[in-house]
Amino acid sequence: MNNDRLAPWAAYLIVGVGALIMLAPFYFMFVFATQSRTEIFSLPPPMWFGDDFFNNLKILTERIPFWRNLGWSLYVAIASTALTLLFCSMGGYAFGCFEFRYKNALFAFVMATMLLPSFMNMIPSFMVMDALGWIDQPRALYIPGAASAFGIFLMRQFVVTSVPKDLIEAARMDGCSELGIYWRIVLPLLKPALGTLGLITFIASWNNFMGPLIVMRSPENYTLPLALRSLQSPVDTEWGALMTGSAIATIPLLILFMMSSRQLISGLTAGAVK
């Protein structure tokens, strides 16, 4: 009996400590966003919010075109998500529901691209973007990743388990064109998977540092990760401003995540059990 009463408390304690450790960096980021540079480095460090938020904001916007960078991040993330959803759903539908020559070889090829470590892409990526004249343009960020292998795989798995073949045949008998079947029948049924993939893609695009690092040149065209990095220098980092920028950068993701966290979990496990 003692064990029964002890165990839940012990579990809560361990989980609680773990949660504190995980959340501490975020908490301190928000706290430091409201403190000045000197206050951040004082000992002991501040535990509660200060009053330097607007000061930090002023420094931030003087040093970098912060709002413009935020705008670019938003633009690239939305474009990236929209294109990914479109092409990956088409690809997943094609691989899941159609028969065509070399289908298995093509699918294996697409899956194989996931095996390549991303750092191997860096130089070839740069060379291709340079040849196309896309260096320093946002399209270099959202077009190359538009049909990701992971997205195609996720969509294909979902289509196979959630769109019965009968439904597509019934639509053909009803006179629906193939594109119509994709748009009116398959896509509405893919909503959970689209939600999941959309969320994952948005987050990945928002946090992407390496991609913009390779192709972006001018500070006005930077996305947030790059812009915030440029605030840092060996001698003269404005930590307060950096924290403020980071905190603001987190907010859209937090909003998005709160709106769809249930969606994400159900989407990731969809199709796992038939």
Partner 1 sequence: MGQVTLKGIRKSFGKVDVIRGIDLEVHDGEFMVFVGPSGCGKSTTLRMIAGLETISEGELLIGGQRANDLRPADRGAAMVFQSYALYPHMTVAENMGFALKMAGVAKAQRNEQVGRAAEILRITELLGRYPKELSGGQRQRVAIGRAIVRKPMVFLFDEPLSNLDAALRVNMRIELSRLHKELGATMIYVTHDQVEAMTMGDRIAVFNGGVVEQLGSPMDLYNRPANEFVAGFIGAPRINLVDRPGDGSSTTHRALWDVLATGAPAQARRVGLRPEHLHLVGVEHGVLARVELAEHLGDSSIIYLRVEGLDTLLSAKVGAGNQHVEPGQAVGLAPDAAWALSFDVHRRLAPGS
Q: Which residues bind partner 1 (CB under 8 A)?
A: 164, 166-167, 169-176, 180, 185, 188-189
- CB of 271 vs partner 1, minimal distance in Å: 16
Q: Determine the residue type at 241.
A: A
Q: Which is nearer to partner 1, 58 or 184 (CB)?
A: 184
Q: How far is the CB of 171 from partner 1 (least distance, A)?
A: 8
Amino acid in position 216: M
The secondary structure of residue 181, as a DSSP letter, is I
Tokens of 182: 């994709």
Q: Which is nearer to partner 1, 181 or 227 (CB)?
A: 181
Helical packing angle, 2-32 and 239-269, nearest 10°: 140
110, 156 contact by CB (below 8 A)? no
For residues 213 and 227, give the distance between their C-alpha atoms in angstroms, rounded to a whole number.
Answer: 10
Closer by beta carbon to partner 1, 135 or else 176: 176
Residue number, 71 or 164, with CB nearest to partner 1: 164
Conformational region of residue 41, where left means phi above 0, alpha means psi within -120 to 50, and beta covers everything else: alpha
Return contacts of 37-45, CB within 8 angstroms, 24+ apart. Answer: 37/238, 37/239, 37/240, 39/240, 40/239, 40/240, 40/243, 41/239
Which residue carries 């220098």 as its tokens?
233
Q: How far is the CB of 267 from partner 1 (least distance, A)?
A: 17
Cα angle value 84/86/90 (rounded, 5°): 110
- Cβ distance to partner 1 smaller for residue 63 or 172: 172
Closest approach of Cβ 105 to partner 1, in Å?
Answer: 18
| C-alpha span between 162 and 71 (Å, rounded) | 37
Min dist CB 175 to partner 1, Å, is 3
Distance CA 55, CA 257 (A): 29
Q: Counting every residue, how long is the chain?
A: 274
If the CB atoms of residues 108 and 170 are measured against partner 1, the closer one turns out to be 170
Q: How far is the CB of 183 from partner 1 (least distance, A)?
A: 12
Give the nearer residue to partner 1 in terms of CB position, either 78 or 187: 187
Shortest Å, Cβ 10 to partner 1: 44
Q: How far is CA 223 from the centre of its chain?
A: 13
